[in-house]
Structure 1
Amino acid sequence: MPAWKELRPMAIDELIERDWILLPGTLCTEDVFTPMLEAIGVPLHQRHAIRLDRPTIEDYAEVCTRSEGAVVCGFSLGAIVAAHLADRLKAARIILFGVNPLADDPAKAEGRRALAWDVIMKGGGAALDARLPPLNGARPDVARAKVLGMAERAAADCDAQTALALSRPGALGVLAKTECPVLVLTGTDDTMAPPELGRQAADAAPRGQFFPLTRLGHYALLESPAACAVALHNMEARLERAA
């Protein structure tokens, strides 16, 4: 058993017993969360993925707000959706990986549409391959293969995800009205959603915490799931001490 599991605070055990609502990112599936969830011991039957196949934030309101008592965990675009709905969620925790809580930068619109077109013409894996930043962690080659495999499987949803990304407003005002704890984790080497954006999200939430994942990038969940698990344990320990 890894040494950090022996130090696991009781609060994390209580969270493990809850349902987890999972919102993956652009060209991504729920598999992005799997290594971390396995590391902390969340059973398969408690993992509930929401497919990002609809073009507006409000399209996800009904299914997400049925998450009373659950852990809502989002990555990248999925984290953006969770952040925009955060004040309506009666969740035990909201956990955001690689989040950008600001309105989409209009300068990114052309690149987003070009990616969507390339997905149609070449497939998700090939389209993302040329755009994927270097990955970190002990086995970046393995992490990259997983990212591209997810992109291939999620290609059919890219048009909806592009519209969702382009149309989103900023989420800081919503986060400011959020009652449950909001845990934000970002790789220090994340160039797609830099750490300062994650810190803004955490600072906006009354019960927000920010944790920088040292020497990891945007796909920290796959680059080092163990580091992500340790970070969540540390954040839960802080919540226990503050209670």
Structure 2
Amino acid sequence: MAIDPADGRPWALLPGTLCTGEVFDGFLDALGVARRARTVIELSDPQIEDYADALTAIAPGAIICGFSLGAIVTAHLADRLDAAQFVFFGLNPHADDPAKRDGRLALARDVTRRGGAAALAERLPPLAGPDPERALSQILSMANQTQHLIDAHTAIALSRPGALGALSRVPCPVTLLTGTDDQMAPFALAQDAAQAAPQGRAVALEGLGHYALVEDPAACARALSDAWNAP
């Protein structure tokens, strides 16, 4: 379904762990989406169900876009939302791997003790795109701004049951974009989600990683536009 992203329709935006809505800004600027059309839903509550009312209120006619943990929250609720389109970056649609529990809890403790940027910096994979240093600075700045949310982010990640069932009941188009070098949510996971959704499509972002939205927002915008305008 070809659509004009700059047509004024609302966008609901759910950022990831230790991210603000700024993670979407370069991408949406490149698409021509007006600032007034953007609503950021901060992940400040510990359960996926806590976001149902806010998403339901904005969903009719909206494009709902989530990154990483924000994509997870949205995917779990997607079959209940009357959205026009879903766009997911770096989605893992499966239940959390128990082997990751200790690492998630260690990150939360480290964020509380040392701050978001210090805790995240040593855990980040290599960044790609035209200006990795700028991307790193933006990611660490967002981590400091959202360090007070780490307990909620950790609780959501650890308790999620898996979203493939919900995605299988979504009647509108679902576009999943993931970097080919994403080490946190590899492209195969986007393919799993796309196969579950009746109108799902997985798009590979060549040479980009988990933070593709920050690494190369213009490339992300081009990839989404191409997907939306493809036959």
Q: Which TM-score tier does this pair reach, normalised by the shorter chain?
A: over 0.9
Provide runs of 4+ in structure 1 moved above 6 Å: none
Which structure 1 segments of 5+ residues have no match? 1-9
> Residues 15 and 71 of structure 1 are in contact (CA less than 8 Å); yes or no, is this contact kept in structure 2?
no
Q: What is the aligned length?
A: 230
Select 1:170's aligned residue among 162, 165, 169. Answer: 162
TM-score, structure 1 normalization: 0.93
The aligned residue for residue 37 of structure 2 is: 46
Which string of whole-angstrom CA distances, capped at 9 and with x for unpartnered residues, describes residues 204-230 of structure 1?
A: 100001100000000000111111011
Offset at 1:12? 3.3
RMSD: 1.1
Instruction: Check conservation: 2:6, 2:31, Cα contact below 8 A.
Output: no
What is the rounded CA distance, in whole Å, between the counterparts of 2:184 and 2:161 in structure 1?
Answer: 18
Q: Report 1:25-174 matches (<5 A).
A: 25-66=16-57, 67-174=59-166
Structure 2: which 5+ residue stretches go unaligned? none
Does the C-alpha gap of structure 1 residues 216 and 16 become closer, same or farther in structure 2, counting only changes over 3 Å? farther
Letter in 1 for 2:153: Q
TM-score for the superposition, normalised by structure 2: 0.97
Q: Which residue of 1 aligns with 2:228?
A: 236
Q: 1:22 aligns with which of 9, 13, 19?
A: 13
SS at match of 1:190: coil
The CA distance in 2 between the partners of 1:41 and 1:58, in whole Å, is: 31
Q: Percent identity?
A: 57
Q: Where in structure 2 are the equivalents of 1:207-222 lying within 5 Å?
A: 207-222=199-214
Q: Deviations over 1:15-45 (max 9, x none)?
A: 6421000000000000000000000111111
Task: Specify the alignment match of 1:4 in structure 2.
Answer: none
Secondary structure of the 1:99 match is: coil
For 2:200 and 2:2, locate their aligned partners in 1 and report how far apart those are by CA, in whole Å.
Answer: 17
Q: Is the 8 A contact 2:179 2:209 kept in 1?
A: yes
